[in-house]
Every structure is written in C-alpha cells, then in structure tokens.
Structure 1
Amino acid sequence: MISSAGDASSSRHWPSSCSPHSLCGLAQTPTALVVSRALQGLAAGSMSAQTFAIISGLFPKRAHPRVFGIYGATIGLATICGPLVGGLLIQWDLFGWGWRLIFFVNLPLGLAALVLGYFYLVDAKPDGVRQLDVGGAALSAVGLFLLIFPLAEGRERGWPTSIVVMLLCSVPVLFAFVVHEWRLGRRGGDPVLRLELFTDRAFSLGAAIAFVFFGTLTSLIFTISLTLQFGFGFSPLRAGMMTLPWALGTGLAALASAAVYRRIGNLVLPSGMVLFAGSLVVLAAQLQHEGTDPRWSALAGPLFIGGAGLGLFVAPVQTAILATVRPQNAGSVSGLLPTVQQVGSSIGLAVIGVVFFNLVATQSADAVQAERPALTARLAEVGVPPALIPRAEETFVRCASEQLGSTSPMKVPDECRSPASGGAPLGAAQQQIADSAVVAARESTRSAAGEAFLQAERRILWIIAAVAAAIGVASLTLPRRNQPVDDGSVAAA
C-alpha cells in the first residue's frame, strides 16, 4: 500500500524511481531479480499517487473529464503497447542484453521525465503536511501479502498447509488494519485510508467498480498473452502486434470520452462496458473459427471495439470517483485510487489465473486425444515401424497430459524431455528416425496445447464479458451527472 503513503511526498521528488530499473537489469540471480522487482514496485507505488495528486491539485474538477481522458489514453496505450515494445526489444537483442534491455530502456525515459518534471511540474500537495501512517501502511502491506501471495502461488504449490494458513491469517490482519485506521481517524490523526470517504455513495460505488474493472482488465491481458505465446507459439513481437488494434481503440476512445460525457453524462460508463463485453463475445467466436493460428485481420475488429469500450470507461470512472471528494481529502484519495487499482489487479490476476490454468487442465484430455491421429500420421511419415507406433502414442498421451494438466502447463516434464535410452546403441538411420519421432511428438504436444489454451481462453472471455456486463449495470446506479464540490485548484485546463 505504498501508493497510499506516496502522496505524503512531493510530486517533484522522484529520483529514486529510476534506480530499481538498473538493479533489475543488472541482476545476476533469480533472487536478486525478485528483490529488485520488489524495490521497483515500491518506487512505482510512490509515484502512482503523484499522478492523481497533480491532476487534483492543478486542474479544477470541471476540467477533469478532459484531463483524465488524456491520462486514460496514456495509461491504455502504455498498458497494451508494453508487450509490443517488450517483444521488439527481446527479438532485436541489442548489444546481446536480451531481456535486460526491457529494464534498461526505462532509464533514459525516466531521466527525461525527471528533467521535464523538475522544470515544468508544480508541487501539487494540498495545504498542510501529511504525517505518514507507518502502522497503517505496515498492516495493509502485510495483510495484502497474506491475501495475494496464496492466491497467486497456491495452485502451483499444491495448496500446502502453510499457504492455507497464510490466506486465513490475512483476514484478522486486514481487520486490524481497518480498526487501526478508524481509531487513528477518530483521534484526529492522518490515516492511510480515510474510512469516512466511503460514506459517500458515489465514491464508494465508483471505487468498487474500479476495483473489479482493473482486476478483470489485468487478468484479460495476462491470459491473452499466455494464449498467444505459449498456446499458439507466437513470438513476443507477433503477440504484441495482435493486440495493437486494442491499444489504438483504447487511445482514441479515451481522448473522445470527455466529449461523449458532455452529451450523455455517466451513461458513457455502461456504454463502454457494453462495447467491451460484446467485443469479447465476438472475439471468442472468432477464435473458435480461426483456430490456433488466427489471422491478424480476423481479430483486429473485435479488439479495436473492445479497446474503444475500455477507453470510454477508464477516464470517466476516475472522474466520477473524484467528483465529490473535498479538497482536504484529495491527498488521501490520490494514494487510495492507485491502491484500489493495483490491489484489484493483483487479486483479479490471481483468481482468474487459477481459473484459467484449471480450464487448460480440464480441456487438455480432449485436446490430447484429438491429436492422436495426427501424431500417428507423422510417425508413419518419418519411418517409425508400425509395431512401435502404439507405444509412441502412449508416451505422447502420458507426457502431453501430464504437462498440460500440471500447475505449469508451459513446462515440459523432466522425464519427457528426451526419449528413453537403453538397450543397444542405435545406428545412424535408426537414430534419425528416433529424433524425427521426438520432433513429431513435440509438434503434436504443441498442437494439443494450442487447442487446450484456445478453449480455456474462450471460456475466460465469456467470464470476463459477464463481469463487464455486471460492471455496466452497476455503473447505472451512479449519478447521471457528476456534481463536483467546490475546489480551489490553481489552474484550469
């Protein structure tokens, strides 16, 4: 919950945000990379609050729809174009740095932002100095870790007792956090989370909608990326290119969202969700029709429309949340909104991730059996003796089923990485046939994986479409027009 504490610092004090990128790029061990990523998360959390503080402090609320439209377009493009840029960097492998370039590329961008921010940003903190609520920040961090870590790791680890205990312990810790914040607020202190904010119906409903929305959006991006790369075997670059229409639709619609709001008010929110949900249903149908090697042109339409739905929703929902917030609470809300988004994303990713991999495992049996005739043809084509084909098929079914039904369906089981050895050495011709049989089995495993991932992703699209429809219905209960409270903003858009 470092985001909620981040608004206690100045919007111009960001230098520490660049160093974690260097540490990630220089990491020599997995442990060092994990620690560096944690530091990167702390830096990102402290920065994310500043964005909302700047918008709240520098722009009057009547300008928020336009400003958040620009902000939403930026966030949408950054979120969806990230895989494309990452794929390009990995494929180019400049200087032989491989994946490290993904982190190093942030250094010049961060330094440029620091220089521009120093000269052009005004310190947008509200009047008065906020005191850091160390106890609240610690309780929230521990409680969220105890909640999110088991959800993310439980399935892969087989839900051991320790994981279950962690999950159960999150309840009293988070309850203690709420009690601590309530008591601190009653004493006139400066809590991380101002509970009185949730007495405002528009704010609490908007925050809940944002929580669910960002959870579904992040998990959708995650499952689509896995399906394209590990299921269909696309390169990171091709996977990024497939989602480019999504980014374009998001950016254009976010820029237009302020104009749409002026015409229909907060009905822009359910309108965006209708487009988003409908596009996911169409996308699921297109994937079924296209199979495991879909054409870019076949998916571009529903992806663009889905992106447009996102763009019409992201900016207006944040405007609706901030509309009734009083100036003295702007700092607290500036930290709370990024926290709501990040926690929602983490929990949504953990939950949908479990559902997705369970669906892959469920679909794997039919996918493997459906691939047996193709494997038989491949084995006969490479010269495997007919008497040995049934044994090769059984090995394929066992290994493919074990891989796709495991907690890590992208990883080949160790015992299936190479053909069993033993007996007399093979001659050159026999060895060539054996090697060709292994290649045929791997191709069939890839095909079965593609089908299992395809069917799992189609079901995830239906689930998220249903959630999006529910979000659209919930957003109908927000006021038709935002009624901003008077603020003393220093600038107009």
Structure 2
Amino acid sequence: MFVTTNTVQKPAPNAPGTYRHRWVALFVILAVEVMDLLDALVTNIAGPSIRTELGGSYSLIQWLGAAYTLAMAIGLLTGGRLGDIYGRRRMFLIGAIGFTLASLACGLAQTPTQLIVGRAVQGLFGAVMLPQGLGMIKQLFTPAEQAKAFGAFGPVMGLSSVGGPILAGWLVDADYFGSGWRMIFFINLPLGLFAVLGAIKFLPEFKSEKAPRLDGLGVVLAAVGAFLLLYPLVQGRELDWPVWCFVMLAAGVIVFGLFAMFEARRERNHLDPLVTPSLFRKRAFSGGLALGLVFFGALIGTGLVMTFYLQIGLGYSPLKAGLTTLPQALGTVAGFIAAGAGLTEKLGRKLLLLGTVVMTVGVAAFALTVQLAGADITPWHMVPSMVLVGAGMGLAMAPFFNIVLAGVDNEETGSASGALTSVQQLGGAFGIAVLGTIFFALLPGQVASHVDDSSAELRAVLTTAGVPSDTQPAVISGIRDCLRDRTAEDDPDVVPASCSSSSGESPEIAAYAQEQVRAGFQATTVRTTGVTVLLLMLAFGLAFLLPKKARPEDEMDH
C-alpha cells in the first residue's frame, strides 16, 4: 500500500516548538478537519436529490448521515490509540488516503447500498485521521502556540459550517459535468490529495514510547451494540415494526452490558480498556455522556427535519435550502465567538445552560413560525428563529467538553475525551434515526387530518371540476386514502393502489392535493420539533450534573 513504501520519515521534534514546519503542518491538519465537517453537513442538503436519482425510500436520507456518524463514533473510540501504537503520521496518512478513496467511491455509487457503505467507510477512515492531527498539535506547539493553533479551528470550522450547506446546494444545482449531487463527494479529492501530499512532506512522526494495547474485542462489542440499537430505529417504521426489531433493540442493550463487564475485567487485569470503567462512577462524566447523547441527538436530528420540510415539503431547491439555513450557521459562529470572548471562563456551566435555553427558544420559535406562516412562509420568515437556534448551539457547545472533563482525574482525560467525542457522533446518529422515524410516522396521519378538516373546500373543488354531488363522498374518501397512502409509502416513486383513480387528473384536484400534502408536512414539522424541545429540556436538566466550572487548560492532561 502507498503508506508502507520507503518514504523518508520526518524526525519528530525533540521538544514542542522546535519543528520548523509546524505552522505548515497545521494547515495540513486543518484541511482534513474541513473535509470531515463538510461531509457531515452536505448530505442533509443533497439527500433528497440523491434519493431521487438512486431511488429507494426516504430512509436513505437518514442512512446517509447515520452511517457516517455511527461509523465515526465507533472508530473514534480507538482512533487516537492507533496513532499511539503505530505512529500518528502513518495513521494520518492511512486515514486521509482511505477517506479520499471512500469519497471517490461515494461519488461513483450506483445504488443506495453502495453509497451507504461508502459513507460508513468514510466515517471509519475519518475516525482514524482526525485524532492524529489533534494529538500532533499538542506535541508540535508550545503551550502558548497551542492557543493560537487551536484558535484557528474556530474560524475554519465556522466558515465550513456556513459554507458547507451553501456549497452543497450550489454544486447540486450547478450540475457540473452532469455530475449533480456526486460533486459534493468529488470536491474531497483535491482536499484529500493536498492532505496526503502535505502529510508526506511536512508532518513529523510521533509514536508513544509505551504504546497501549489495542482493545479489539471492546471495539467489536461497542460497534455491534450501537448497530443493534440503530438499525431497527431507522428501518422499523418501513417494515411495520416486526418482532425482530424489538429483539434487536433488547440485544443491543445486552451487548452494551457485556461491553461494560468486559472493560471492567480488562481494567482489573491491568490491561488498557477502551473506556476506563471508573469514569462511569463519576456523576459528572456519566451526566456528560447522557447530556451529549441527548443534546447532539436533538441538534443533528433537527437539521434533518428541516431538510425534509424545506426540500420535500416546500419544494425548495438544494441551493435555496442551503441559503435558508445560512442564518443558523452564522448564529453558531456568533455563539462560538461570544463564548471565546470570555463568557466560557466567566459563566462556566451557566453558559451551557444559557445556550440550551436559547436553542430551545429558537426551535420553539421555528415551530411557531411554520405554524403561523403556513403556506405563505418564505426563508425570510425563518431568519430570527434560525439565528436563535444557531446562537444557542454555539454557546452550549463551546464549554461542553471542558466542563465535562473537569469532573474526571488527569489520568482519565484521554479515555474520557475519546468517549465524549464518540458520544457526540453517536448522539447525531440516534437523533437522525429517532427524529426521522417520528417525522415519517406522523406525516400520513397529518395529511389525512388536513383532508378531513378541509372537506368543505374539497367539495367546492370537486363541484368546480364537474364531479356530480352524489359521487363526491366516495371521491373525497378516495383522495384522502390516496394522499395518506402516498405519504406513508416508503418509496415515494411507488404509486399506491388507492391512487389508481383518474379523479386526480383534474388540475383543480391536483392543486388541492398538493396544498394538503404541504399542510401535512407543515404540521408534522411542528410536532417533530416539539419532540426536539422536549429533548432540549431534558438536556437542560442533565446539565446540572456537570461541574460549575471548566478545568483550566494548563491543568488538563491531553
């Protein structure tokens, strides 16, 4: 393989701050951060276009995000340790090459299964690649320089979060070389090539003198447990919740129990556990894991719901949908800037609580805006609520990791950091699964309810279309069943048997049907974001389990 050829190894610097190419190395590390952040965001915008071309059910859109985040969550548990064992530069190269090739495979995918597998492979290689860069920064730079180096992540991640959805929408709409949505993955090829060549040229090699042993069985147990919980949550609704879905959920809980027992035994035998079991006896850490799972689940899941509403419900193009979410991204950047200007040190846990409240108000305001504006809604109506959602996200996320880590001992920080980052990704995967499933479970009933509530309007439409009054009740019932079954259909390209009537060919009836489906999406969005509000309220309560202040940076052992 490429990374095992006899390339010249860059000698590790003897002390932080002595390696002359360290600032160039930082740009290489930032390049892969941009790749990861873009890939975490773009499929939400491009998802409906991908499903339209490749076919399949709406769950494909859920899996595009869930496969990536779930694979990354599992990989991050051990990604940093692979660098300790085999060398950070080597694992960075393997991760960057694998991520780039997986991006190419995603862009060339011809079936939904191929694309989902490609996304999972992207996530796994991303989990190998990302921890190495962060670890190298700690070893390349002096403490004073580290503040500047890590400070560069804020603007870069902010610009990526702002530009990611817009870039995705633009690339899909522009349809360069007839590639359509595939260009969102092809754009990784030059970034990946820059990262690989830059790593070969400018990254020094680091390897721990006393490398930990890899807990392979622990990784397998964690991966199997997470998959057993996630798969039925995404696919259960489409399959009408067969018994085996609930068996899988129960098996997932059992596997995680076995994982906990196995990790405790490794610790007793003085072996390196994947996650230090003593961490779970600390209220701050256990509370932090629960908070991370709920908060990031609400955050990522709500982004998917907004995609469903904007592109499927309102019929926005990918570019228009990306531009509509721009105020949220700008709000997130503003929240991070405010937190970095001294609020984190001054307020500590109160800032996390404040951010959660602001985000909750923003989500509730979004739901209220959708409800009140109805069919007349425009992107401008959503700007205030989107800004609030983003600002709350930035304020809450900025102090999260340091506050949770303040409750663990120095020697546990490495294990705790890996577990927290994994839970962040795992929460995103479960948020996509749960909120996406709730959305499509509610949609058919809401559409049918709107047809029932507007029966008088429908009678007038039928009369205008020349439908005799004595046949109108049967036609109304047929239209109701057709719209309900159509929105309940897993594959929107399939025409249900209840829609075989020719009555829907009338332009007046077709316009009425479109209006009711849009109203159904509106009502479903309001109710699903109500679930998000409940999750954020739960996150607010869990935050009280955390320490009041973050640990000062110089006290933390990374």
1:242 aligned to 2:324? yes
The offset of 1:311, in angstroms, is 0.4
**Kindly tell me: are residues 308 and 228 of structure 1, through their superposed partners in 2, closer, same or farther at Cα, counting changes over 3 Å?**
same
Residue number among 297, 312, 320 corresponding to 1:230 in the alignment = 312
**In structure 1, how many angstroms separate the alpha carbons of the residues matched to 2:164 and 2:405?**
28
> What SS does the aligned partner of 1:190 have?
coil
| TM-score (ref. length: structure 2) | 0.76
1:312 aligned to 2:399? no
Residue number among 507, 523, 532 corresponding to 1:464 in the alignment = 532
The offset of 1:215, in angstroms, is 0.8
**In structure 2, how many angstroms separate the alpha carbons of the residues matched to 1:87 and 1:109?**
19
1:344 aligned to 2:427? yes
| TM-score (ref. length: structure 1) | 0.85
1:43 aligned to 2:125? yes
The offset of 1:162, in angstroms, is 2.5
Residue number among 221, 225, 237 corresponding to 1:143 in the alignment = 225
The offset of 1:333, in angstroms, is 3.4
For 1:201, the equivalent position in structure 2 comes to 283
The offset of 1:170, in angstroms, is 1.5
**Kindly tell me: are residues 162 and 294 of structure 1, through their superposed partners in 2, closer, same or farther at Cα, counting changes over 3 Å?**
same
1:5 aligned to 2:78? yes
For 1:94, the equivalent position in structure 2 comes to 176
Structure 2: which amino acid aligns with 1:294? I
The offset of 1:399, in angstroms, is 0.3
For 2:479, the equivalent position in structure 1 comes to 396
The offset of 1:25, in angstroms, is 1.1
For 2:369, the equivalent position in structure 1 comes to 286
**In structure 1, how many angstroms separate the alpha carbons of the residues matched to 2:239 and 2:320?**
32
Structure 2: which amino acid aligns with 1:402? D
**In structure 1, how many angstroms separate the alpha carbons of the residues matched to 2:149 and 2:279?**
23
Structure 2: which amino acid aligns with 1:196? S
**Kindly tell me: are residues 396 and 349 of structure 1, through their superposed partners in 2, closer, same or farther at Cα, counting changes over 3 Å?**
same
> What SS does the aligned partner of 2:238 have?
helix
Greater shift after overlay, 28-37 or 304-313? 28-37
**In structure 2, how many angstroms separate the alpha carbons of the residues matched to 1:449 and 1:143?**
38
Is the 8 Å Cα contact of residues 228 and 252 (structure 2) preserved in structure 1?
Answer: yes
**In structure 2, how many angstroms separate the alpha carbons of the residues matched to 1:60 and 1:468?**
38
**In structure 2, how many angstroms separate the alpha carbons of the residues matched to 1:122 and 1:268?**
38
Structure 1: which amino acid aligns with 2:519? E
For 1:479, the equivalent position in structure 2 comes to 547
Structure 1: which amino acid aligns with 2:171? L
- CA RMSD in angstroms comes to 3.2
> What SS does the aligned partner of 1:45 have?
helix
Is the 8 Å Cα contact of residues 126 and 327 (structure 1) preserved in structure 2?
Answer: no
> What SS does the aligned partner of 1:306 have?
helix
**In structure 1, how many angstroms separate the alpha carbons of the residues matched to 2:416 and 2:137?**
12
Is the 8 Å Cα contact of residues 60 and 487 (structure 1) preserved in structure 2?
Answer: no
For 1:263, the equivalent position in structure 2 comes to 346
**In structure 2, how many angstroms separate the alpha carbons of the residues matched to 1:64 and 1:321?**
21
**In structure 1, how many angstroms separate the alpha carbons of the residues matched to 2:139 and 2:406?**
13
The offset of 1:410, in angstroms, is 4.9
Greater shift after overlay, 197-206 or 64-73? 64-73
Is the 8 Å Cα contact of residues 357 and 407 (structure 1) preserved in structure 2?
Answer: no
Deviations 1:174-217 (A, max 9, x none): 21111111111111111211112233433332232112111111
For 1:104, the equivalent position in structure 2 comes to 186
**In structure 2, how many angstroms separate the alpha carbons of the residues matched to 1:65 and 1:449?**
51
Residue number among 162, 168, 183 corresponding to 2:250 in the alignment = 168
Deviations 1:217-249 (A, max 9, x none): 111111111111112222222222111100000
**Kindly tell me: are residues 261 and 178 of structure 1, through their superposed partners in 2, closer, same or farther at Cα, counting changes over 3 Å?**
same
1:452 aligned to 2:549? no
Is the 8 Å Cα contact of residues 272 and 310 (structure 1) preserved in structure 2?
Answer: yes
**In structure 2, how many angstroms separate the alpha carbons of the residues matched to 1:323 and 1:106?**
36
State percent identity of aligned pairs.
34
**Kindly tell me: are residues 394 and 260 of structure 1, through their superposed partners in 2, closer, same or farther at Cα, counting changes over 3 Å?**
same
Aligned residue pairs total 475
For 2:444, the equivalent position in structure 1 comes to 361
